[in-house]
């Protein structure tokens, strides 16, 4: 069962085996830099942008597996990709093993792995049996991982989980070890409990989990600049880091830029226009990118703009074009 949008890609898309393996990246010893799954934001256009600025792996937004399988409309709207959108991990919310495995088989020809969301703390997700409630169901997580591993034919296709931690870290270690025994490829750890939002990340907990399993571990939480990538790696020994809000504010963060460079702004304009990104998404991304580098009066004017042409005119008049000889390469 492949929806029309996916079927049309079939002749031109490479399979996962034709791309650089994510597991090979871990083997190389580099700190793998990953764009997190972000509802509404980590869609194809934004993934295309961060890949230009040293992001190694990208996640789709979380997709509810049951809806994805049931609805052609959901498949067409929730999963869009192209030939250059690799390596790509498709994150699903699921509550039973076969549904996750079926969804994985649909997207496997167009991606490099699937990830089971075990970290979303929102009430609607947890009440539906999705997200962070799964960290308290280690046997179910183990079964879901095993189903994907057994039913996707490609041995290089990865199955990972993204979790939050328990107050009693022994429970988290047990969860991770059960997932490892089921064949999980790697584990992303958001270093906060389900109840925590903006409290400091528990890096010691991430280190404990890293030391307790043999599969690669990714650290998530408060990665806001390239220095955070290195310090987190040094503190925890993780194999990679995942950023969300840091990349929204500065999509060039992984390339070492302290703030969003002008080139990145215009790259986003080009990508968004080319891919037909809806205005609200196009505008919201720019609001995030410009927040740290513009004044409050400038932000007030920019946030009130209501068309793509008005945004482009504003950027041109306020910051200039990257090709303008009178404009610095990175005026911000």
Instruction: Please list, in sequence order, all residues whose beta carbon lies within 8 angstroms of the beta carbon of residue 255, skipping any fewer than 6 positions away.
Output: 53, 54, 226
Q: Residue 38, annotated ligand binder?
A: yes
Q: E strands of the chain, at which residues?
A: 32-35, 57-59, 63-64, 88-93, 113-118, 158-164, 186-190, 217-220, 240-243
Q: Residue 245, annotated ligand binder?
A: yes
Q: Residue 45, annotated ligand binder?
A: no
End-to-end CA distance of the chain: 48
Q: Residue 37, annotated ligand binder?
A: yes
Instruction: Please list, in sequence order, all residues whose beta carbon lies within 8 angstroms of the beta carbon of residue 62, skipping any fewer than 6 positions away.
Output: 37, 39, 91, 92, 93, 117, 120
Is 132 exposed, middle or buried, given 0-12, 13-18 or 19+ CB atoms closer than 10 A? buried
Peptide bond into 87 cis (omega under 30): yes
Distance CA 30, CA 240 (A): 8
Strand, coil or helix: what is 278? coil
330 a catalytic residue: no
The 10 Å CB-count burial string (b at 16+, else e) for 193-221 is bbebeeeebbbebbbbbbebbebbbbbbb
Specify the pairing of strand 240-243 against strand 32-35: parallel
55, 120, 225, 264: the catalytic one is 120
Q: How many residues does the chain have?
A: 332
Distance CA 276, CA 40 (A): 15
- Please enumerate, by residue number, every residue annotated as part of a binding site: 37-39, 91, 190, 244-245
Q: Which residues are annotated as a binding site for FMN?
A: 37-39, 91, 190, 244-245
User: Which residues are identified as catalytic?
Assistant: 120
């Amino acid at each position: 069962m492949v929806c029309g949008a996916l079927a049309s890609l079939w002749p031109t898309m490479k399979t996962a085996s034709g791309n650089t393996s994510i597991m090979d990246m871990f083997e190389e010893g580099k700190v793998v830099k990953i764009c997190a799954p972000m509802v509404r934001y980590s869609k194809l256009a934004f993934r295309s942008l961060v890949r230009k600025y040293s992001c190694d792996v990208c996640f789709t937004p979380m997709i509810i597996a049951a809806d994805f399988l049931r609805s052609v409309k959901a498949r067409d709207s929730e999963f869009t990709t192209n030939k250059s959108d690799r390596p790509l991990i498709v994150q699903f919310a699921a509550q039973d093993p076969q549904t996750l495995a079926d969804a994985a088989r649909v997207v496997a020809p167009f991606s490099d792995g699937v990830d089971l969301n075990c970290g979303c703390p929102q009430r609607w997700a947890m009440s539906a049996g999705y997200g962070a409630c799964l960290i308290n169901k280690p046997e179910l997580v183990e079964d879901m991982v095993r189903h994907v591993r057994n039913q996707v034919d490609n041995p290089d296709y990865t199955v990972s989980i993204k979790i939050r931690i328990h107050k009693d870290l022994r429970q988290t270690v047990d969860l991770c070890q059960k997932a490892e025994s089921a064949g999980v490829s790697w584990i992303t750890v958001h270093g906060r409990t389900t109840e925590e939002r903006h409290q400091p990340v528990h890096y010691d907990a991430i280190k404990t989990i890293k030391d307790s399993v043999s599969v690669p571990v990714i650290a998530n939480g408060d990665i806001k600049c390239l220095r955070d990538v290195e310090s987190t790696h040094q503190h925890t020994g993780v194999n990679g880091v995942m950023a969300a809000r840091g990349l929204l504010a500065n999509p060039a963060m992984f390339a070492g830029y302290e703030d969003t460079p002008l080139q990145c702004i215009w790259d986003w304009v080009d990508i968004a226009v080319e891919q037909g990104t809806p205005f609200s998404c196009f505008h919201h991304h720019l609001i995030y990118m410009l927040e740290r580098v513009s004044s409050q009066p400038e932000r007030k004017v920019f946030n009130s703009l209501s068309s793509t042409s008005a945004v482009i005119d504003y950027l041109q008049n306020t910051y200039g074009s990257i090709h303008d000889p009178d404009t610095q390469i990175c005026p911000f």
